[in-house]
Amino acid sequence: MIRNTCKPLFDANASAGGRDLGKLPEWDLTDLYPSQDSKELADDMAWLEQACANFAADYEGKLTDLDATGWLNAVERHEKIEAIAGRIMSFAGLRYYQLTTDSDRTKFMSDCQEKVTVYTTPLVFFTLELNRLDDTVLDDHFAANDALARYKPAFDRIRAMKPYQLSDEMEKFLHDLGVVGDAWERLFDETIAGLEFEVNGEPLNIEGTLNLLTEQDRPTRQAATEELARVFADNIRTFARVHNTQAKEKEIMDRWRGMPTPQTGRHLSNDVEPEVVEALRNAVVAAYPRLSHRYYALKAKWLGLETMQVWDRNAPLPMETTRTVNWDEARDTVMSAYAGFDPRMAEIAEPFFSKGWIDAAVKPGKAPGAFAHPTVTDVHPYIMLNYLGKPRDVMTLAHELGHGVHQVLAAGQGEMLASTPLTLAETASVFGEMLTFQKMLDGAKDQAERKVMLAGKVEDMINTVVRQIAFYDFECKLHEARRGGELTPDDINALWMSVQAESLGPVFEFMPGYETFWAYIPHFVHSPFYVYAYAFGDGLVNALYAAYQEQPEGFQDKYFDMLKAGGSKHHKALLAPFGLDASDPKFWDKGLSMIEGFIDELEAMEG
């Protein structure tokens, strides 16, 4: 039950890249601890060691003897342990992600992780003994104590793992062994952060190079894509080793636990039924011709191309003006959109900008991508960006700030119930993007600007829905193939290419070297099968936003209640007040029809 809060999931001082972006904010981590050698941190580490030992001494082998009040005391003590362990690992992890190439930060995080793992190993008994109790025993305790009954959703999620639980000794062994798997993730992170590229004579890290794929100049996009392919190829054996090892470790775990598929564990942690995910996946794949194939054919026409290359996929439109959005403008745009929906949303978002809760600049050694890390419920979230002043970076800010608002609102649920399943974790982030997009669209000064904005939104949605489901299919194939033996880099390359043409459509050609582009996607390593949560979140938000447009009266209060619920309710219960049901196969068609409608409008503009 101890969450490993040093590993935020990536969503993918000086001004960056020579651009004048204004003063970019940096993290102030002192709300967690004053420094890595502070007395406060040392005291918490000592407290954690003793608290875990005391907890095990008081409760191991005795859970069956507890009454409802005793159970409530145990849960509250466990939550306090989670909070302290999470605070320590959040501090160590965030410092590390600021500068992954710094050996002192790497050592500090690794040392913290090892100590926390050792200290919390005695707690493994708690979930094991809990899962040996009869349902009737727990139900009686819940009926006897309302304060304890509040935790029932967390207990239900733990007990969903009951059929896959191993012996106490094995579970403790696996808990201890977790730091070894983490080492492979760190190898991936440090390899990615340390990659060096050169485009048009300019040395760049991976974030700066990927950024060039959205440049107006086509030769620059081509040069950046070819340079990415060259560097990935030079490092492909390392990436293949990481993926082989991680996939094999997962296969061993799944086999020992008796999980029927590689995806089962993710579905359980997401509190979502496999058939719901399958319905989502099938709906998106069936819509490829209506969405990505149709849009990219339209884009090829705008670009004056008969065939698109991979470096054209995220190209700006010819009629799009190349401009840099400075930080103040990005902040004002997003905050205005949030306030326009509900002033409470902007009030929650404001401290992120004023109190050092955002780290925005691109810096050497900083982890690529973006994330919002909730830390622990008695502190606050932190947002990491790699802000380069692109219009899409504004949408990334809107996205991560949505996560942050969600995490602030859910914190009232406490450590056991605040975290939402990944499928629901994307709700507020994608909704924040939609609010920002609609605000910008309403302000379009003419049809040409509206066209550019609509096209940009369609591309973002295709990247969120189509691309992520293609990623999910790739992962399914990868893990299935790994069960048959070691995969060579060429094997993995072939699996990657098998999903690309299907998802992107016949207008694309794929240059030699593109087959290695699976190598830099962090989700495949950090959190297998995470990616379908993006498509789930986008479809859910499209349906939510349609409900908002149809019936705005009272929507805000229902929306805030949904975010405040955190992980305390199943997706059916959360969506019921809006008249929505994700288990209905037609639900996904509603979300996809919004994307289709935007493409319809773009096609009509051609007429």
Give the tens place of pLDDT for each residue, 302-316.
Answer: 999 999 999 999 998
Work out the average pLDDT over 398-426: 93
Work out the average pLDDT over 27-39: 97
458 confidence band (pLDDT: 50, 70, 90) = very high
* pLDDT exceeds 60 at position 1: no
For residue 607, what pLDDT is reported? 60
pLDDT tens, residue by residue, 361-374: 999 999 988 999 99
pLDDT tens, residue by residue, 554-572: 999 999 999 999 999 988 9
* pLDDT exceeds 70 at position 3: no
> What superfamily would CATH give domain 277-355+390-606?
Oligoendopeptidase f, C-terminal domain (1.10.1370.20)
Rounded CA separation 80/66 (Å): 19
19 confidence band (pLDDT: 50, 70, 90) = low
Overall CATH class of domain 22-195 = mainly alpha
Work out the average pLDDT over 23-45: 97
Work out the average pLDDT over 38-51: 98
* pLDDT exceeds 60 at position 335: yes
Tokens of 540: 């859910």
pLDDT tens, residue by residue, 253-302: 999 999 999 999 999 988 899 999 999 999 999 999 999 999 999 999 99
For residue 536, what pLDDT is reported? 92
Contact 94, 27 (CB under 8 A): yes
- Ordered by start, the domain boundaries in the chain are 22-195, 277-355+390-606
Rounded CA separation 605/607 (Å): 5
196 exposure class (CB count in 10 Å sphere: 0-12, 13-18, 19+): exposed
Rounded CA separation 545/402 (Å): 15
For residue 175, what pLDDT is reported? 81
* pLDDT exceeds 70 at position 470: yes
* pLDDT exceeds 60 at position 77: yes
The DSSP 8-state label assigned to residue 321 in this structure reads P
Average pLDDT taken over every residue of the chain? 92
CA dihedral 113, 118, 124, 125 (to 10 degrees): -170
Instruction: Look up the pTM and report it.
Output: 0.82
Mean pLDDT lowest among 16-30, 82-96, 379-393: 16-30
* pLDDT exceeds 80 at position 13: no
pLDDT tens, residue by residue, 151-183: 999 999 889 888 998 888 888 888 887 777 788
Give the three-class secondary structure for 252. Answer: helix
* pLDDT exceeds 50 at position 15: no
For residue 323, what pLDDT is reported? 76
CA nearest neighbour of 78 among 143, 154, 131: 154
For residue 191, what pLDDT is reported? 94
Work out the average pLDDT over 527-549: 91
* pLDDT exceeds 90 at position 2: no
For residue 5, what pLDDT is reported? 42
Topology agreement, domain 22-195 and domain 277-355+390-606: no
For residue 4, what pLDDT is reported? 40
Taking the alpha carbons at both ends of the chain, their separation in whole angstroms is 58
Contacts of 392 (CB under 8 A, 6+ apart): 214, 456, 460
Indicate the residue type of 315: A
8 confidence band (pLDDT: 50, 70, 90) = low
